Amino acid sequence: MIARTLTEWRELRHGSGAGEIPEPLAARLAAVAAASPLSGRGGEGVLEHRRHSLRARGVVGIVVADGAVLEILPKIDSAGSDAAVRDRLVHMIAVALDLRVEAGEIAGHGEQRDTLLEHFDAMLLHYGAETGVRMARKHVGWYARGFPGAAEFRARAMTMTDPQAIRDAIRGAWDPALGRLAA
């Protein structure tokens, strides 16, 4: 069984070398992906089967075919290794679906803080500072749910209007907890 990992919008070349996939297995993966309801009318909404490569589209997941597994990870800027991307993805899904996912308490808190800061900055960029801060405050509260001192933190964060003050408050709430866990 060959297992490969790819991020959205990247290519996996055909071949027998490290980081490549034999063309017959690529064809099987492409056929399975084309049969998915996510694949759309042209059948290439998940994977594009090109002459010399497979190219992941904007769908994240795992494609399993006879003899091959292809994991498609989200393109998360500056997330680092595939393992870091997986951890961020699991955390984002857990927040969105209100799931309790434990991946080691210290790692979970660090990833949660980083994801929250990234999400906060993305909202500011997308909506502008004033609207972005208003919209992001409720997300900040959701991330803090179940965190030590969450009620006090949420009460403080809900009244803040300055983006840098909110970033500092996030770090101020999460960083001491990380220090306690690391000690």
Q: How many CB atoms lie within 10 A of CB 3?
A: 11
Phi-psi region of 121 (alpha: psi -120 to 50; beta: other; left: phi over 0): alpha
Helix (H, G, I), strand (E, B) or coil at 183: coil
Determine if the pTM surpasses 0.85: no
Strand order, beta sheet including 2-7: 2-7, 68-73, 61-65
Distance of alpha carbon 88 from alpha carbon 67, whole angstroms: 28
Render each residue's pLDDT in the chain as its tens digit; 183 residues. 888 988 888 899 999 888 899 999 999 999 999 988 887 777 778 888 999 999 998 888 888 999 889 888 877 665 566 667 667 777 666 666 666 555 444 445 667 777 788 878 888 888 888 888 888 887 787 777 766 677 888 888 888 999 999 888 888 877 665 444 444
Which DSSP state fits 134? H
pLDDT at 101: 55
pLDDT at 53: 93
Domain edges within the chain: 2-73, 82-182
Q: Show the tokens assigned to 134.
A: 């208003």
